[in-house]
């Protein structure tokens, strides 16, 4: 059996999805997602210029050897661009494997460990009352877990993941449009004075059953992160995410020494080596690595197993930049993983997105029911894809009040 061709598509409704389609001499094809948010053309070029010419004539069933070949053979390996490109190939080869076996991927991994997998939504508000309304809407839809973010009174700009204006806007999504980034202003002391009480008010209003998550988005120093984790302990968060930038992994010890708040990290990680120390030293509770930037299903299965040995559960990244293809790969991993925790779920869910990626993975009452179709269980409509073109975007940047650059 041979790979006869592969093609990359960049574009989509409201997002520049990077979709890889690998075709074989037996008519079976596989799909992969290489979407690297706001840098989408880079993994696309890596695939088109370097990897696809090597794939032609290879046996698509040898997904392990192909992964090792590209990873070990790259020399300048790791990093989000290369790993997103390897990840897309790996997903597509697993998709082909599942279709050949006539089995959904979760069965190839070891079968279902649960009937459905809990997901969390993003509730946002320009201020706390606005956020409370947003949470109420998700609770009414049956969500059991919600990530909560709101504007901080007195902060010059609205802050991470919150709308610029109060009220009535429904779900907010960060404005990534344009190649010149927008600027947000960050004030850690204001945030630290305000947010613990806001989280306590949310707990008081919604009761003990709701799983409450909060994302600091890498903005606190290790000492601040330790103090914050301790201050929010009575709220009983499901997790506190990215309290501090994770490049300095030893900093996580300080948080652990001061608090029992569960910590989730890893959405910007690219390999098992980024996770290894945090998992082995049991400095985190949830690993957030994504199947896309983490290099695909093959390495993620290893990370899941390593995590399981150290009481670390999964909480894979699922921002709207992930296409339904990588989300499908994660739905299968979530159905299988014995140490599954929760899944972030923000697929655009528009009729345009559903037309581009037809699938029967079903999200209901805050639970994801994985498709039983062979392979990934998601398709890609090339006629629909022809309607879209690449539109460049940028993440906002963050500065302190005096102009100093900070972490977004």
Catalytic residue list contains 217 = yes
Smallest separation (angstroms) from ligand GCO to the CB of 65: 31
Smallest separation (angstroms) from ligand GCO to the CB of 225: 15
Smallest separation (angstroms) from ligand GCO to the CB of 398: 11
Closer residue to ligand GCO in complex, CB, 15/97: 15
**Residue 344 near Mg ion by CB under 5 A:** no
SS3 string, the chain, reads CCEEEEEEEECCCCCCCEEEEEEECCCCEEEEECCCCCCCHHHHHHHHHHHHHHHCCCCCCCHHHHHHHHHHHCCCCCCHHHHHHHHHHHHHHHHHHHHHHCCEHHHHHCCCCCCCEEEEEEEEECCHHHHHHHHHHHHHCCCCEEEEEECCCCCCCCCCCCCCCCCCCCCCCCCCECCCCCEEEECHHHHHHHHHHHHHHHHHHHCCCCEEEEECCCCCCHHHHHHHHHHCHHHCCCEEECCCCCCCCCHHHHHHHHCCCCEEECCCCCCHHHHHHHHHCCCCCEECCCCCCCCCHHHHHHHHHHHHHCCCEECCCCCCCCCHHHHHHHHHHHHHCCCECCEECCCCCCHHHHHHCCECCEEECCEEECCCCCECCECCCHHHHCCCCCCCECCCEEEECCCCEECC
Per the residue annotation, which of 29, 160, 293, 388 is the catalytic one? Answer: 160
Closer residue to Mg ion in complex, CB, 37/371: 37
Closer residue to ligand GCO in complex, CB, 258/390: 390
Q: Could you tell which of ligand GCO, Mg ion, none binds residue 344, using a CB distance below 5 to 8 A set by kind?
A: ligand GCO
Q: Applying CB under 6 A, which residues contact ligand GCO?
A: 37, 215, 217, 267, 319, 321, 344
Angle (deg, nearest 10), helices 188-206 and 128-140: 40
d(CA 372, CA 102) in angstroms, rounded, equals: 10
Site string for Mg ion, 187-216 (x = CB under 5 A): ----------------------------x-
Smallest separation (angstroms) from ligand GCO to the CB of 371: 23
Smallest separation (angstroms) from Mg ion to the CB of 240: 11
Binders of Mg ion in range 369-398 (CB under 5 A)? none
Q: Which stretch binds Mg ion (CB under 5 A): 38-46, 116-124, 262-270, 370-378?
A: 262-270
Closer residue to Mg ion in complex, CB, 215/274: 215
**Residue whose C-beta lies closest to ligand GCO:** 319
Closer residue to ligand GCO in complex, CB, 184/215: 215
Number of residues that bind Mg ion (CB under 5 A): 2
Contacts of 356 (CB under 8 A, 6+ apart): 12, 13, 17, 380, 381, 384, 385, 388
Per the residue annotation, which of 217, 322, 331, 361 is the catalytic one? Answer: 217
Site string for Mg ion, 215-234 (x = CB under 5 A): x-------------------
Smallest separation (angstroms) from ligand GCO to the CB of 360: 25
Q: Could you tell which of ligand GCO, Mg ion, none binds residue 37, using a CB distance below 5 to 8 A set by kind?
A: ligand GCO
Closer residue to ligand GCO in complex, CB, 21/288: 288
- Check if the beta carbon of residue 44 is closer than 8 Å to that of residue 34: yes
Q: Can you tell me which residue has the tokens 């980034």? A: 181
Q: Which stretch binds Mg ion (CB under 5 A): 40-48, 204-212, 232-240, 260-268?
A: 260-268
Closer residue to ligand GCO in complex, CB, 128/162: 162
Smallest separation (angstroms) from Mg ion to the CB of 241: 5
Catalytic site residues?
Answer: 160, 217
List contacts with Mg ion (CB under 5 A).
215, 267
């Amino acid at each position: 059996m041979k790979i006869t061709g592969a093609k990359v598509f960049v574009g989509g409704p409201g997002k520049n999805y990077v979709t890889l389609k690998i075709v074989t001499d037996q008519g079976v094809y596989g799909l992969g997602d290489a979407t690297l948010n706001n840098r989408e053309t880079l993994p696309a070029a890596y695939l088109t210029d370097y990897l696809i010419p090597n794939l032609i004539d290879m046996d698509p069933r040898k997904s392990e050897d192909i992964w090792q070949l590209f990873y070990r053979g790259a020399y300048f390996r790791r990093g989000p661009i290369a790993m997103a490109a390897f990840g897309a190939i790996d997903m597509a080869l697993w998709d082909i494997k599942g279709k050949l076996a006539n089995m959904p991927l979760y069965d190839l991994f070891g079968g279902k460990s649960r009937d459905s997998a809990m997901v969390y939504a993003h509730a946002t508000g320009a201020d706390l009352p606005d956020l409370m309304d947003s949470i109420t809407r998700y609770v009414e839809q049956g969500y059991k877990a919600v990530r909560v973010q709101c504007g901080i009174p007195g902060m010059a700009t609205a802050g991470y993941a919150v709308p610029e204006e109060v009220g009535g806007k429904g779900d907010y999504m960060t404005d990534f449009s344009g190649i010149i980034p927008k600027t947000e202003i960050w004030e850690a002391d204001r945030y630290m004075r305000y947010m613990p009480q806001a989280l306590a008010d949310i707990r008081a209003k919604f009761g003990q059953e709701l799983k409450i998550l909060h994302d600091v988005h890498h903005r606190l120093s290790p000492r601040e992160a330790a103090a914050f984790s301790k201050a929010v302990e009575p709220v009983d968060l499901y997790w506190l995410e990215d309290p501090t930038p994770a490049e300095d992994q030893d900093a996580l010890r300080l948080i652990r020494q001061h608090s029992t708040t569960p910590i989730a990290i890893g959405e910007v990680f690219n390999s098992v080596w980024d996770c290894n120390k945090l998992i082995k030293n049991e400095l985190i509770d949830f690993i957030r690595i994504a199947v896309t930037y983490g290099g695909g299903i093959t390495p993620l299965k290893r990370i899941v197993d390593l995590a399981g040995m150290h009481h670390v559960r999964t909480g894979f990244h699922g921002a709207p930049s992930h296409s339904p293809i990588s989300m499908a790969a994660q739905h299968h991993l979530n159905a299988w993983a014995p140490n599954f925790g929760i899944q972030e779920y923000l697929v655009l869910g528009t009729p345009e997105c559903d037309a581009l990626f037809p699938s029967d993975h079903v999200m209901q009452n805050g639970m994801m029911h994985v498709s039983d179709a062979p392979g990934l269980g998601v398709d890609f409509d090339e006629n629909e894809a022809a309607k879209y073109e690449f539109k460049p975007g940028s993440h906002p940047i963050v500065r302190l009040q005096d102009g100093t650059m900070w972490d977004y």
